[in-house]
Amino acid sequence: MTPEQLDIEQALPRMQDLASRLWSRTARHHPGQLAWSAAYGEPEALDLGPVFVLDDAWAWLESPDWLEVCGVEPDAVRAAVAAALETVDGDVTASTLESEDVVLAALAETGFVEVEAPWFTHHHLDLADLPPVRLPEGYAVRAVRPGEHEERAAVHRAAWSATSKVTTGAYHRLMATPPYRPELDHVVTSESGEWVASCCVWWDEATGVALVEPVGGVAEHGGRGLAAAASVSALTAARGLGATEGLVCPRGDDDYPGPARLYRRIGFVPGARTRTYRRTTGR
């Protein structure tokens, strides 16, 4: 059982297909999250490493010291992890959901131990329970249009930080990365037409799950429900296409509780959390 070594562009459709096939509320990976992780910045800024792929598992060196793993078949997961680790020559960190038993076992067998790190909690929402979109007066919400990658990247950066890796060129590429759909990428505009909040939703048609990633609201317009409105609006559009369940994965630790509060107000309920593991070489 020898995994194929591929670069992320070649591997992404197969990684997404496996993530979709294995999706459950106890699984870490969603096809939209993989698209975002593979394309949110310029390739040279992201420093994405190779993927080790089998039919039933993959292991991705998302960066030279960060490993992501997908699979539920123990031998396949073990083989993918082993192939990835053969190419690593330093410490490597991996994060997975606490419910990913097979991945956790493969990491433990290869010397990973749990470390303290910021963690994330998967949150779920039956889209039948979505509240209506609520916007304060003067604001409007709409879907991004093809060709608006420059404005879209700018509103993301304005909310996150000026040093965000989300450039105009990167967003252009992201918009060409399946399962991206502009009709599920929503922005809130102010009375003067300025873009002030945004939410991108990724719909996996096979599972019906619509992932919220990312959400942003610029600070000068913060605390008015704009990020929540962008999220509800994009999720409502996904429901209109056939999505049945929402997923969002905000920080779960106490150091950054705001986004989880925002999603719980919309109706999302917490599920499994991530845990972080590190394998040190002792050098």
Smallest distance from ligand COA to CB 274, Å:
13
Smallest distance from ligand COA to CB 33, Å:
12
Smallest distance from ligand COA to CB 131, Å:
12
Smallest distance from ligand COA to CB 97, Å:
16
Smallest distance from ligand COA to CB 156, Å:
9
- For ligand COA, the closer of residues 61 and 235 by Cβ is 235
Residue 149 pairs in a beta bridge with: none
Of the candidates 263, 226, 259, 256, the one whose C-alpha atom is nearest the C-alpha of residue 142 is 226
Written as six digits, the tokens of 255 are 């150091």
Residues present in the chain in total: 283
At 217, phi and psi to the nearest 5? -145, 135
- For ligand COA, the closer of residues 92 and 237 by Cβ is 237
Smallest distance from ligand COA to CB 226, Å:
4
**Which residue is listed with tokens 């404005």?**
151
* 50, 61 Cβ separation under 8 angstroms: yes
DSSP secondary structure, 153-204, as one string: HHHHHHHH-TT-S--HHHHHHHTTSTT--GGGEEEEE-TTS-EEEEEEEEEE
- For ligand COA, the closer of residues 226 and 237 by Cβ is 226
User: How far is it, in rounded angstroms, from Cα 205 to Cα 210?
Assistant: 9
- For ligand COA, the closer of residues 50 and 250 by Cβ is 250
User: How far is it, in rounded angstroms, from Cα 202 to Cα 234?
Assistant: 9
Residues that bind ligand COA (CB under 6 A): 159-160, 197, 214-217, 222-228, 250, 258-259, 261-262
- For ligand COA, the closer of residues 61 and 125 by Cβ is 125
* 120, 273 Cβ separation under 8 angstroms: yes
271 secondary structure, DSSP code: E
Q: Which residue lies nearest ligand COA, judged by its C-beta?
A: 217
- For ligand COA, the closer of residues 35 and 59 by Cβ is 35
* 168, 200 Cβ separation under 8 angstroms: no
